[in-house]
Amino acid sequence: MLGALTDNWELWRDAVLGTLTLFFASGALALVLGFVVGAMRVSPVPIARAVGTAYVNTIRNTPLTLVFFVFVFAVPVILGARIDLMLLGILALGIYTATYVAETLRSGINTVPVGQAEAARAVGLTFSQVMTSVVLPQAARAVVPPMMSVLIALLKNTTVAATFASAVINLGSIRSTLSERGENSLDVLLWVALFFIVLVLLLSWLQQVLERRWKVAR
């Protein structure tokens, strides 16, 4: 079993780096886009709320595999150009996960008493100032656990990229590659599971750190 790891160390290194690249790049996109969509979902402007709601309901209710299919096969045809498969995977994961980020932020915003936002608007603050200075700092404490759950789900969803783009080396595609080299598939899958367990434990540790820090700040 150990030989499946030590005899193919460079391939494992590339697979882990590929998974981390997908995770961090798509995670950054999801957080930024999710923040914008989440703000639109609670905006006092009806059009903004409608657009945010339509985006969330459309993308979140679409299977991730179908989202990947559209980006990998349809987008290059529509644009008439070859696009890097890693970039397409990042876009698919980021745009899909942004819907869950938006809903997590919206639920956190709803935990803040309405009277605080109304008081802030009464003293002349704009909607953006109310959000950034009053609502979001309080909502952030409430969204840490569910947001980490979203990021953990994103980490595991990176394996879906291997189904549509074998050229994107990650932990989801390494089994088929090592099988061609004669390695036992069960041994490889056990190592893949171990790598994911370690990465998830690191995210859980980060969650505990953030919760402790903001608990003291409270």
Domains of the chain, with CATH numbers?
3-217 (1.10.3720.10)
**Is this prediction's pTM over 0.75?**
yes
Please give the backbone phi and psi of residue 128, each rounded to the nearest 5 degrees, phi first.
-65, -35
Read off the tokens for 10: 């460079």
pLDDT for 155: 93
Q: How far apart are CA 9 and CA 15, in angstroms?
A: 10
Say what the pLDDT of residue 132 is: 74
pLDDT at residue 217, rounded to an integer: 47
pLDDT of residue 166: 59
Weakly modelled stretches of the chain, pLDDT under 70: 1-4, 165-168, 214-218
Longest distance between any two alpha carbons in the chain, whole Å: 70
Predicted pLDDT of residue 218: 46
Which pLDDT belongs to residue 71?
87
Distance CA 153, CA 170 (A): 16
Residue 185 CA, chain-centre distance (Å), reads: 28
What per-residue confidence (pLDDT) applies to 188? Answer: 80
Quick one: CA torsion of 174, 177, 178, 180, rounded to 10 degrees? 160
